[in-house]
Each structure stands twice: as C-alpha cells, then as structure tokens.
Amino acid sequence: MTNPKKSQTLHVESLGEELSVYDWQRLQMHSLNPTAAKVFEMCDGQTSPAQMAKRLKAPEAVVWQSLDELGKASLLSDAPEKPASYQNMTRQQFLKLGSAVALASIVSIVVPRPAAAQSAAAPAAAAPAAGGGATCPIVRTANVGTITGVVTYVGFAEGPITEAQITACAPTSITYAWTGVAVPVGITGAIILSQASGGPRAGTSVNFAAGTTSPQTRATAALWTGNRPYNGVETQCIGGSWDIGVLTITLA
C-alpha cells in the first residue's frame, strides 16, 4: 500500500496547532485544524495510516477521514486508497467513534488568477491579506508573462501590500513562486516590490541566477522594507528573456 506523501507545490506556515498551507501551483490557500495538521505533517511517504493512528492515539478511521480531506484538497502527491470498511462512512459515523481527537477540518480559499487587463495598472484600493482575513501570510499574484532586458511593471491582482498589513504580519521571509520555466541558461532575472512603474521600490531586489527553479524563499528584510504600499512588481532579466508566467509573492 502507498503511504501518504505531501504535495511538493506547497508553502506551509504554523499557526499555533493549526497550519496555513499555500499551494502556489493551484493558487489555493488551505487552513488545517490541529487534527488535519498532525496527519498532514506525518505524510512523509514513510509513515502508514496505522502508524499515524498509533501516534495520534486515535482510531484509524479518524486518520482515514483526515487523509480523505487532504486528498480532496490536493495536498497529497501520493494518497493511499481508503480501505473498503471506511469507504462509505459518513462524518456522523466518524463522530460516533468517540475519539478524543477532533475530526479533521480543512477550509480552502481559491486565490484568483489575475487577468492581463487587471495587471495593466496598479489597483487603487487596498485588499486584505489572503487567507480568510488573517494577517499572515500575505499573498499577491501578478500576471508577469515573459520578461526581457526592459524593466516591466505589473500590478497585483488582489490589491496593494500596505504598511498596516506588513506591521500586522511582521514577516520574516518572502517566497517567489512562478508558473513559468526555470531561469534560462545565460540569464539573470530580477524582481522587486514597487509602488508603480519606476518606483518608489522596496529596499532592494532579488536576483535569480540561471537554472533557478520555483519556488524560492529569501529572509532578507530589505526585500520588503520601505516605500509602501507595494502595488505590484518590477521585473527585468539580463542576457535574454525569461517566461515567468504568473508570479506569486508570499510574505510570512
């Protein structure tokens, strides 16, 4: 039997006993309650559902119910087939098991893909951080497409990153994820948060060397410091062109 394994397209942040999971490939945000979070963290491809149940000190049915929800949310790259004895169990039947462990619960939010028309200019109104109103993580998307040696500005589809949001989130890292290709050979790409075309900009830009693949995380505060609100990004590459596609910025 295949042991469950997490998807490789995820960025995970701990929120106490809960988890906030961002799928940068599908542009979806998921909030996992403590039970779902514990099961998800054990999905390493090495741990069986029976072993998970033993560690949780819970009925194995609770693990299978959690795995079922994780699979439906596309958070697993390898999902074992549910045993026949659990195939038709309802949530109410799970509740009758009397487990001391709460049943899994996953709340998912789709982060809208930006349209080219939306990204042509900086949005005028501020938007809350993605993730059901939570202050962190802050997630923004920009339909960048292919960049060249010319500096190009693209606005965020969801609205600007404001001073208040940065203060409330107090991020310690910034993650860049893109749907396009890895940085081509002979190319150096650059991305910087910016108010508008020509700035003002963040304290510094991040440079990506040839061969760099998505996603990339940096922990230098200068990458999101100063000159807010950030309404979008400015991009440029040296030595040719780079197809970024849809760019996702995550501050957490």
The pTM of this model reads 0.51
The pLDDT tens digits of the residues spanning 192-206 come to 999 998 889 998 899
Q: How far is CA 32 from CA 14, 18, 80, 107, 211, in A?
A: 10, 6, 20, 7, 33
Q: How confident is the model at residue 114 (pLDDT cuts 50, 70, 90)?
A: very low
* Cα end-to-end distance, the chain, whole Å: 36
- The reported pLDDT for the residue numbered 120 is 36
Q: Show me where the domains of the chain are located.
A: 5-109, 116-251
DSSP one-letter string for 82-122: PPHHHHT--HHHHHTT--SSPPP-EEEEEPPPPPTTGGGS-
CA neighbours closer than 13 Å in the CB half-sphere of residue 42: 20
Q: For all residues of the chain together, what is the average pLDDT?
A: 81
What is the mean pLDDT of the segment spanning 177-188? 91
Q: Which CATH architecture has domain 116-251?
A: Sandwich (2.60)
- The reported pLDDT for the residue numbered 111 is 58
Q: How confident is the model at residue 238 (pLDDT cuts 50, 70, 90)?
A: confident
The pLDDT tens digits of the residues spanning 50-100 come to 999 999 888 888 888 888 889 888 899 877 787 877 666 665 666 565 454
Torsion sign, CA atoms 208, 209, 213, 217 = negative
178 near 243, Cβ under 8 Å? no
Q: Which comes out higher in pLDDT, residue 31 or 133?
A: 31
Q: What is the DSSP-derived secondary structure letter of residue 125? A: S
What is the mean pLDDT of the segment spanning 129-133? 42
Encoding tokens for residue 1?
């039997």
- The reported pLDDT for the residue numbered 103 is 62
Place of tokens 């700035």: 199
